[in-house]
Amino acid sequence: MNKITVNDVNFRDRTALVRLDLNVPLDANQQITDDRRITAALPTVQKILADNGRAILCSHLGRPKGKHVPEMSLRPVAEHIGSLLNKTVAFAEDCVGPEASNLVGKMAAGDVLVLENLRFHPEEEKNDSEFARRLAGLADIYVNDAFGSAHRAHASTEGVTRFFNQSIAGLLMEKELTYLGNALSEPQRPFAAILGGAKISGKIDVITNLLDKVDMLFIGGGMVFTFAKAVGYQIGDSLLEEDKVELARELIAKVQSSRAKLFFPTDAVVASEISDSATTDVVPIEEIPDGKMGLDIGPDSIELFRRELQQAKTIVWNGPMGVFEHAPFAKGTFAIADLLADMTDAGAITVVGGGDSASAVKKAKLGDRLTHISTGGGASLEFLEGKELPGVAALTDSPKATEAAV
């Protein structure tokens, strides 16, 4: 992690614009149904307040597409932050403009102001420079703790940084960059990656980037079947990306000439429908009958993955092994989650990319037992692809890192 963090800065007498990921689920009555994103953001806010700084919090919520959508207001989030911090939190009904400026003008040391949903303005996602300048004008220092939005060059994640002398990483951002970064750049070996999910098309760049880095690569999920087709297996009605078969062939050849050893499922749980009451069978991976779909890795594959993964010291996991949303196809994914929890207990470093694999781990109530579960699905995927995230690139480098580079 080579960025300045909030721990390197004293916020006394300063007004910080803090970009958070407060994109929490709300029910029809605007009640927050899961506040984990809020609680994950609090340590950064508390650090600023402990320094006697002023914290202006901003975020997106949902996809209002540049319009004011009352159901996507951050007001309930502001109220919830107030109750968690046990203090009155002010709320500005527009993230820029006279009301916001007025409320900022009234802030005292230790005060918190929450701005309305940034995406009510189309300029946010367009990374409009004038909008970024107006947002930045509210504060004298900028903090980004929204890892989940860091892969987007939006006004509040990238544009604003041009108007500040220093752009600081929050504590959650620091944690994400440290765990994901260290896993990729200095893993304890053997280093294994487990990739699953629906399609190859979403994971090509991850596979390519990880090939030179990992010692073992495990493939599961729907993308297995495009690989299976590429080597001439019978895949029945399983998920197939017809136009990616050639690419799958090339990827297999690339793995064979890389340092990584490839592990492929040996059997599959099949069914003719995706439902909670589906009748299932287990068949060899090369012989999925017509009319059936491969919807999870089978027991032999779980055993193979378990045996081989045991040796790994660092494991990165992205994407479920099957259609885990339905009980008959969830065993493979939960078995991996269990195995990773046990391996973490035994000293391995286990990092789960956000999105579906993170939900599976949480569903299995194993969240506390793994080393790190990323809060950003898209962002962690782009990180694993080896891409520089614009919201991270825009943060100020730490002098320590600069000295080390010189």
Kindly tell me which of 355 and 390 has the beta carbon lying closer to ligand AMP. Answer: 355
Amino acid 28 reads: A
Active site residue 232: no
One residue of 322, 328, 376, 390 binding ligand AMP per CB under 6 A: 322
The residues, ordered by sequence, that sit 6+ positions from 80 with a Cβ below 8 Å of its Cβ are 32, 35, 38
How crowded is the C-beta side of 214, counted as CA atoms within 13 Å?
27
Active site residue 355: yes
One residue of 199, 249, 313, 369 binding ligand AMP per CB under 6 A: 199
Does position 202 bind ligand AMP by CB under 6 A? Answer: yes
Does position 286 bind ligand AMP by CB under 6 A? Answer: no
One residue of 323, 373, 384, 395 binding ligand AMP per CB under 6 A: 323
Does position 115 bind ligand AMP by CB under 6 A? Answer: no
Does position 355 bind ligand AMP by CB under 6 A? Answer: yes
Kindly tell me which of 11 and 227 has the beta carbon lying closer to ligand AMP. Answer: 227
Catalytic residue among 199, 249, 362, 363: 199
Active site residue 66: no
- Rg of the chain over all Cα atoms, to the nearest angstrom: 23
What are the respective helix, strand and coil percentages of the chain, to the nearest 5?
A: 40, 15, 40
Does position 198 bind ligand AMP by CB under 6 A? Answer: yes
Kindly tell me which of 11 and 264 has the beta carbon lying closer to ligand AMP. Answer: 264
DSSP letters along 281-340, please?
EEEETTEEPTT-EEEEE-HHHHHHHHHHHTT-SEEEEES-SS-TTSGGG-HHHHHHHHHH
Phi-psi region of 273 (alpha: psi -120 to 50; beta: other; left: phi over 0): beta
Does position 391 bind ligand AMP by CB under 6 A? Answer: no
Residue 98 tokens, joined: 């006279």
Kindly tell me which of 137 and 202 has the beta carbon lying closer to ligand AMP. Answer: 202
CA 264 to CA 305: how far, in whole Å? 9
Cβ-contact 341, 363 below 8 angstroms: no
x/- string (CB under 6 A) for ligand AMP, residues 223-262? ----------------x-----------------------
Cβ-contact 358, 374 below 8 angstroms: yes
Binding site for ligand AMP (CB under 6 A): 197-199, 202, 221-222, 239, 294-295, 319-320, 322-323, 325, 355-356
The catalytic site residues sit at: 37, 199, 355, 378
